[in-house]
Amino acid sequence: MRTTGVSVPDVVREIITRNRSIYECMKMDVINYTALAVKIQPDVEKQLGTPANLNTIVVAIKRYADSFDEKEDISDEPILKNARLSLTDRIMGLEWNMVDFVEQDVSRMFAEAQKAFSDSEFFRFGDSFRILTEDSDSARHLFQSFPKENDYRPGLAKIKIQISGQNRSDVLSYVTQILHYNGIEIVDALLSQDGVVLIFKEEDAPRAYEKLRTEIR
């Protein structure tokens, strides 16, 4: 399992890139940054676990929008050069708030989960936890001992992009653009310690994998 710290710019990028309509409006430069900041502020604060200044969110949005123009002047060096791509189907996503774990031995519980499911990934967002793990009877049985989750999603698949020497946020922006262009919907997009994790409905993941695989060279 991996814990990932996040900043306001990281959260803003993730929210925008997984929302196809907002992403396209930003690419076309037809969106009001302040209005968008007001709209996404609750989601930003939820992921951070702390209040976020509206002006800070506006600045993060503007910097992300500026990065689109900057990328047009970058050399032809492939964004996904030497990236490692892996597809895992039949996974489920679970999420809890910290308040669900009051008086619980959190470290012991997650250590047990890590030992049982080595391919599971653990993300920390402010005051919440998110786990991606295999969707199996044994996994469901183990997580029954955890506090009741606030959010549970079965029928998912993940594509993990491991990179070196590339900015994770740039990679996230690039692959999201490819997937949006091909009409492939993303359930969620997360920054891991060594790359990017994309979550899809299980039926959409194979096509997404093939599209991204062609970009690795």
pLDDT in tens, 168-187: 877 887 888 888 888 898 88
**Is position 103 within any domain?**
no
Could you tell me the pLDDT band of residue 102, with boundaries at 50, 70 and 90?
low
- Domain residues for the domain of 55 are 8-72
Question: Which one of 4-8, 97-101, 128-132, 207-211 scores highest in mean pLDDT?
Answer: 207-211
| pLDDT for res 14 | 80
Best CA proximity match to 96, nearest among 110, 84, 86: 110
Mean pLDDT of the chain: 80
Q: Tell whether 51 is covered by a domain.
A: yes
Residue 109 inside a domain? The answer is no
The 10s digit of each residue's pLDDT in 139-158 is 887 777 776 656 678 899 99
Select the highest-mean-pLDDT range: 127-136, 175-184, 195-204: 195-204
Q: How far is CA 35 from CA 30, 54, 180, in A?
A: 12, 10, 23
Tallying the residues shown for the chain, one arrives at 217
Residue 73, pLDDT score: 47
Residue 187 in domain: no
100 lies in some domain: no
User: What is the per-residue pLDDT for 135?
Assistant: 87
Q: Phi and psi (nearest 5°) for 151?
A: -140, 135
Instruction: Give me the number of domains the chain comprises.
Output: 1
Q: What residues have CB less than 8 Å from 95, skipping those under 6 apart? A: 128, 129, 130, 131, 149, 150, 151, 152
Q: What's the pLDDT score for residue 98?
A: 67
**pTM attached to this predicted model:** 0.66
Asked if the structure places residue 29 within a domain, the reply is: yes
The answer, yes or no, to whether residue 57 has pLDDT greater than 90, is yes
Examine residue 90 and state whether it is found in any structural domain, yes or no. no
For residue 53, being part of any structural domain is answered with yes
